[in-house]
Structure 1
Amino acid sequence: MKPSLPQGYEISSSPDRLDRALIHRWLSTDAYWAVGRPRELQEAAIEGSLNFGVYETATGSQVGYARVVTDRATFAWLCDVYVAPELRGRGLGNGLVAAVRDEVAALGVYRIMLATADAHEVYARAGFAPLEEPGKWMVLGRA
């Protein structure tokens, strides 16, 4: 399954291209899982992660973001997936998630996890599925 974006958009994992202020604004004000997240915490999260941006090719403006926490060998956690509200429904999220999946798989990582309360169909198109045995998994920390 090759990732594709609508014409006029591109994905980059270059940290130099990230619009960190925009990412913080998106997540801290509009993402149910990160509302109120302090800028310093977001910066630390970016620094400790593999980051992906979606950009308009004509302007270079960032229109989407995803972050992966990984050991780059066996495990990855996909999080903070976000597409600008005015551009949702155009396939940007599908292309972003597929590109993340492929780049992380190319590292040799064989398990990518995520948690979401919505957009399950976006992740399913990239091959994600519910846990077969959720009773095996445990968590420590905030809900």
Structure 2
Amino acid sequence: MTANGVVGYELSTDPDRLDVELVHHWPSTYAFWALGRSLDTIRRAVRDHLAPYRLKRVLLSTLDAHEVYSKAGFVPFPHPENLMLLNPPQGSDTQQN
């Protein structure tokens, strides 16, 4: 999937178009939800991207980037009261904040 958003930027899920080191740098350095996330974790996420899983939906959590993600097709969840969360064990680098 590719979506044009802010002028000069493009969202893409094509692994061949992604600079994995740069993709790793941004969240692991600046995003509260991924501080310290390992490069290997990001590489696995890019390699095992969502397409092969034939998912019905993708859920995204953001504090302040709603407009950015809406340009990629994300919409507000219709019934957030129906959601539940199971946190991974302590020490996992995918732990939720």
TM-score by length of 1: 0.46
How is 1:45-60 mapped onto 2 (pairs within 5 angstroms)? 45-49=45-49
- C-alpha deviation, 1:16, in angstroms: 2.5
- C-alpha deviation, 1:31, in angstroms: 2.0
| 2:44 aligned partner | 44
| 2:91 aligned partner | none
| 2:22 aligned partner | 22
- C-alpha deviation, 1:129, in angstroms: 3.7
Secondary structure of 1:45's aligned partner: helix
* Structure 1 residues 39 and 18: CA distance shift in structure 2, 3 A: same
- C-alpha deviation, 1:26, in angstroms: 1.5
**Percent of paired sites with the same residue:** 42
Provide structure 1 residue ranges, at least 5 long, that are not aligned to the other structure: 50-68, 78-112
* Greater per-residue strand proportion: 1
How large is the RMSD of aligned CA atoms in angstroms? 2.8
1:117 maps to amino acid: L
TM-score by length of 2: 0.62
Pair 1:35-2:16 in alignment? no
How many residues were matched structurally? Answer: 85
- Out of 124-133 and 16-25, give the one that drifted further: 124-133
Q: Determine if contact 2:4/2:10 at 8 Å carries over to the other structure.
A: no
Secondary structure of 1:36's aligned partner: coil
* Structure 1 residues 48 and 125: CA distance shift in structure 2, 3 A: closer
2:26 maps to amino acid: W
Alpha-carbon separation, structure 1, partners of 2:76 and 2:9: 30
Alpha-carbon separation, structure 2, partners of 1:47 and 1:20: 10
Secondary structure of 2:61's aligned partner: coil
